[in-house]
Structures are given as C-alpha cells and as structure tokens.
Amino acid sequence: MKVLVTGGAGYIGSHMVRTLIDRGHGVVVVDDLSSGHRDAVAAEAAFVEADVADGVRMLALLREHGVEAVLHFAGKIRVDESVVDPATYWRGNVTASLALLGAVLEAKVPSFVFSSTAAVYGDPETVPIPEDHPTRPVNPYGDSKLTVERILSSYGVAHGLRWAALRYFNAAGANAGAGLGERHDPESHLIPIVLDVALGRREKVSIYGTDWPTPDGTCVRDYIHVCDLADAHLAALEHLTKGGESGAFNLGTGRGASVREVVEVVREVTGKAVLAVSAPRRAGDPPELVAGVERAARILGWRAKQSDLRTIVADAWLARARLPG
Ligand code: UFG
C-alpha cells in the first residue's frame, strides 16, 4: 500500500516509516524538520520537506504518489508550551490538520490514522481509562488533539472518511538496531532524562512530586514501546482498509509504572548510579494514567508485545548511548 506519513522524521513517525518499509509498503514522508531529523527517515522512503498546513502542496503530493492512506504524526507535542503559547497548538495541530484533511477528501484518500493522546482525558475519574471515559482536556495540547478527533468524526459522517484516532499513553523505547531513538530538544520526557543521568550527561533527575496518592507517592504512567505503537498503526490501517468501523483507540499496556520504578529499572538495566532527588509537583500532571486496552484488542486485534519496562529501558539505553552527548 502507498502511505503518506506526516512527521515521519520525528520520534514515533520515524519508527513507523521503518516498520512500513519492513512490511513492504511504499512510503512518502512529509516533514518540515522543525523538530524532526532528516537522518531518521529510512532511505527507502521518499522525503518531502514541507508544511502539512500547505493544503495545495499536500493535494499535489497525494495525487502524484497515488497515496492510499495517510498516517498523520506531525504536530506540536509539549503540554507546558501549549499552556503559554496556545496559538501555536491550535495552528500546528488543528489548522494544519484541517488543511491536510481538505486535501485528503479532495484526493479521495479513503483512510486516515491520527496521532492522538491520553491528554484528551484530562484528570481521569477511573483508571484504567476506557475510551468512553469523559474527554475533558486540561491543557490546549490535549484540547487541540481532541478537536481534530471531532473533525475526523464529522468528516466520517459527512464524507465517508474512514479514520482512527490513536490515543498514545507514554511512548518510550527505540528501535536501536535501525539507528532510531528519541531525540527531543529540549528533552522533557522521563526515560531519556534518567538515561542521560546514567550516561553522566546530567547530574540528576528531579522527581516531580513524591506525595501523590499513589503506592510510592510518585506519578504512575503507562509506558508503551514505540515499536508496539508502530504495529498498532499497521493494525488500524488494515482494519480501516477492510471497511472496519472508525473511532478512537487507546494505545497502552494496561499496566502502570511509577517514576521511582522507572529510575530503579534504569539503574538495574544500565548498572549505573542514578541520582534522583525529590522536587515539587509539576503543574498539570495527573497522578495516574493507565490505558484501558480492551477496545484495541477486540477491534484492532492489537496488544502490546514488547512493552515490558525492562525491554523499553534496555532498547532506549542502546539508542541513547549512541547519540552525540
Ligand atoms: N517526570 C519527572 N521528572 C522529569 C520528567 C518527568 O518526575 O524530569 C515525571 C512526570 O512528572 C510524569 C512522568 O515522569 O509523572 C512522565 O513524564 P513525561 O514528561 O515523560 O510524560 P507525561 O506523562 O507528562 O506526558 C506524556 C506525553 C504527552 C501526553 C501525556 C498525556 O509525553 O505528550 O503523556 O497526559 F500529553
């Protein structure tokens, strides 16, 4: 199948491109390189440096390459930034998606898979969180992703677009064998930060809050291997192509790990000392986010296979140690 991957030079997108190519699909990557890395894009993929918001360009690309499905990863991803600069999030996540979707409809591309987030739920009332849990995002980032989900739903009704919104929990790990890894600048995610302490690139990791209502007082998250995420996208694509129902799906493991557990696993896996210090809570952090995973299993036939925390950390460690310090 011929697939257009937006944001294919980014962390999750670049892993997706590798997986698609390994499974024999044709791939066109669109990325403006505002946060992605050109060298993360598999050589077998066609690469176009462009902004997804350029609808005219997107339409031309979809037609030129005979694209049969779009996987839309490109977007803004920082919760804290979205709070102080919401316009960038409405533009980068909503306006850009509208432009891309206009082109998708015009070119009659039947299937669309969207990178959504657990942030659509806000502060959950129940954990694990099922997809029909109320969606009340607590920051513009989550709000912008939920808005795109709503646009997709209305386009499904009006135009017959087949879509899946994949709500990622905490993407982590790497396909180190393919030379890929997590390279955000600045880095704010827990696992790469703790690995940098193990590598001696940082002095310490601050644990944001040790008095949360969780078993060890630190926040609990559902870490999901980026290669499992890529497999879930393939499953969603196959489901839509077969005419399966559109909708939103959580992508997680159904199990949580605390910040302290992550630090401990990094110590075990790397054999290095990691200095971790207690710090105040970070604004906007819910204490516990764990995915309900039954819907993806039942409808997409997908479950995480390589998201054991030790595997995630070991793979992320291999990739991180190779990055220039
Ligand atoms: N944390 C620390 N110290 C750090 C960094 C993180 O204690 O230096 C803690 C955070 O407070 C949080 C946990 O580690 O409890 C995980 O934090 P991350 O920043 O790695 O990930 P988040 O859970 O904040 O964010 C992720 C995605 C977002 C998404 C969100 C859903 O990265 O895109 O889940 O709420 F919006």
Residue-wise pLDDT for 123-163, tens only, equals 999 999 999 999 999 999 999 999 999 999 999 999 999 99
Looking at the fold, whether 285 and 199 belong to one and the same domain comes out as yes
Collapsed DSSP state (helix, strand, coil) of residue 4: strand
Looking at the fold, whether 48 and 159 belong to one and the same domain comes out as yes
Q: How far is the CA of 158 from the centre of ligand 1 (A)?
A: 36
- Beta pairing, strands 26-31 & 2-6: parallel
CATH number at residue 183: 3.90.25.10
Residue nearest to atom 18 of ligand 1 (CA): 189
24-28, 183-187, 222-226: which range is least confident on average?
A: 183-187
Question: What are the backbone dihedrals phi and psi of residue 205, each rounded to the nearest 5 degrees, phi first?
Answer: -110, 135
The two three-digit tokens of residue 221, written as one number: 């998250």
pLDDT band at 323 (very low <50, low <70, confident <90, very high): confident
- Beta pairing, strands 257-258 & 220-221: antiparallel
Q: Residue 206: what pLDDT?
A: 98
Residue-wise pLDDT for 235-252, tens only, equals 999 999 999 999 999 999
CATH number at residue 38: 3.40.50.720
Looking at the fold, whether 81 and 212 belong to one and the same domain comes out as no
> Peptide bond before 128: cis, by omega within 30 degrees of 0?
yes
Is the confidence at residue 254, as pLDDT, over 70? yes
Collapsed DSSP state (helix, strand, coil) of residue 72: strand
Domain that holds residue 103: 2-172+222-251
Looking at the fold, whether 161 and 309 belong to one and the same domain comes out as no
Looking at the fold, whether 77 and 194 belong to one and the same domain comes out as no
Q: Residue 312: what pLDDT?
A: 98
Looking at the fold, whether 190 and 274 belong to one and the same domain comes out as yes
Average of per-residue pLDDT across 257-283: 97
Mean pLDDT computed over every residue of the chain: 97
Q: Residue 208: what pLDDT?
A: 97
Looking at the fold, whether 116 and 261 belong to one and the same domain comes out as no
Looking at the fold, whether 162 and 180 belong to one and the same domain comes out as no
pLDDT > 90 in the chain, percent: 96
Average of per-residue pLDDT across 2-22: 98
Q: How far is the CA of 259 from the centre of ligand 1 (A)?
A: 9
- Quick one: which atom of ligand 1 is closest to the CA of 121? 35
Asked if residue 29 lies in contact with residue 66, where contact means CB atoms within 8 angstroms, the answer is no
Distance CA(312)–CA(325), nearest Å, equals 21
Residue nearest to atom 6 of ligand 1 (CA): 190
104-to-68, 261, 308 alpha-carbon distances in Å: 10, 43, 37
Q: Which residues are catalytic?
A: 141
Measuring from each residue's beta carbon to the nearest atom of ligand 1, which residues come in under 6 Å?
Answer: 77, 79, 117-119, 141, 170, 188-190, 193, 205-208, 219, 221, 259, 282, 285, 289
Q: How far is the CA of 126 from the centre of ligand 1 (A)?
A: 19
Residue-wise pLDDT for 171-222, tens only, equals 999 999 999 999 988 999 999 999 999 999 999 999 999 999 999 999 999 9
Residue nearest to atom 35 of ligand 1 (CA): 119
Looking at the fold, whether 22 and 165 belong to one and the same domain comes out as yes
Looking at the fold, whether 98 and 187 belong to one and the same domain comes out as no
If you ran DSSP here, which 8-state letter would residue 129 be given?
B
| 93, 170, 218, 313, best to mutate for ligand 1 pocket (most atoms within 8 Å of CB) | 170
17-21, 25-29, 318-322: which range is least confident on average?
A: 318-322
- Quick one: which atom of ligand 1 is closest to the CA of 219? 15
Residue nearest to atom 32 of ligand 1 (CA): 170
Distance CA(250)–CA(118), nearest Å, equals 7
Looking at the fold, whether 139 and 54 belong to one and the same domain comes out as yes
Number of Cβ within a 10 Å radius of residue 144: 26
Looking at the fold, whether 79 and 209 belong to one and the same domain comes out as no
The two three-digit tokens of residue 37, written as one number: 């890395």
Distance CA(97)–CA(245), nearest Å, equals 21
Residue nearest to atom 24 of ligand 1 (CA): 285
pTM: 0.98
57-66, 180-189, 235-244, 263-272: which range is least confident on average?
A: 180-189
Q: Residue 325: what pLDDT?
A: 63
